[in-house]
Amino acid sequence: MAPTILITGASSGLGAEMARQFAARGYDLALAARRTERLEELADEIRAAHPERRVALRALDVTDHAAVFRVFGELRDELGRLDRVVVNAGLGKGAKLGTGRFDANLETAMTNFVGALAQTEAAMEVFRAQEAGHLVMVSSMSAMRGMPSSMTTYAATKAGVAHLAEGLRTELHGTRLQKRIKVTVLYPGYIRSEMNDKVDQHTPLMSSTEKGVAAMVAAIEKEVADACVPPLPWAAMAPVMKHAPLGVLKKLI
């Protein structure tokens, strides 16, 4: 029986490319996102390339918390089990604090952190029942340090979800489930996607979608605890971002 993977935010960008690459690696897919027409197009593309793959689809807004639990359960039932869950759905919008755009920052916080919490809870209910599974949390290199301006709330949510996953890993450490339930945190840098469409697309730090996601998929398959992806330049950049003086940091970002 083929392994199964659930990916949220799968209608575009990193989520859609992960679906393509995991299908090529022999996975059956559970794909969830708000834009169902894009999900259908992606599913048709994957089935054409890999007719043997099962692809289960559900509409999902991760801020509808009851729907998160229902959809995860339905996808598990349809595919028989969920071996991996990638918590990927998120927003990149935001505004400088105190400029009258609390609405944008609240939407980002509710989607990226509270929505991720709901997904983690739902995934762990499945994994605890199975006594096996692999939770993958998609954070961001911006989680390494508080970010300025419109990035402030986004970066805070990505630091929050990283700590959520790390706390779960700490809880499982030393228990009988440690080897059966794995937790991975990914810290993507600039990877070409809708999320990064406002970043200079010609910056030497920008990776293509295919290359960036290939690095993410490789880290997931290895079940590493955490990974900056792609490794070059982001693994080297991580300690600089964490510890550089603020003046240096602002020049870097």
> For this structure, is 154 an active site residue?
yes
Residues 6+ positions from 206 with CB-CB distance below 8 Å: 190, 191, 192, 196, 199, 200
- Full DSSP string of the chain: ---EEEEESTTSHHHHHHHHHHHHTT-EEEEEES-HHHHHHHHHHHHHH-TT--EEEEE--TT-HHHHHHHHHHHHHHHS--SEEEE---------TTSS-HHHHHHHHIIIIIHHHHHHHHHHHHHHHHT-EEEEEE--GGGGS---GGGHHHHHHHHHHHHHHHHHHHHHTTSTTTTTEEEEEEEE-SBSSGGGTTS-TT-TTPBPHHHHHHHHHHHHHHT-SEEEESHHHHHHHHHHHHHS-HHHHHHH-
The two structure tokens encoding residue 141 = 């290199």
Q: Which of 27, 154, 187, 190 is catalytic?
A: 154
Nearest C-alpha neighbor of 27 from the set 57, 53, 51, 56: 53
Q: What amino acid positions are annotated as catalytic residues? A: 154
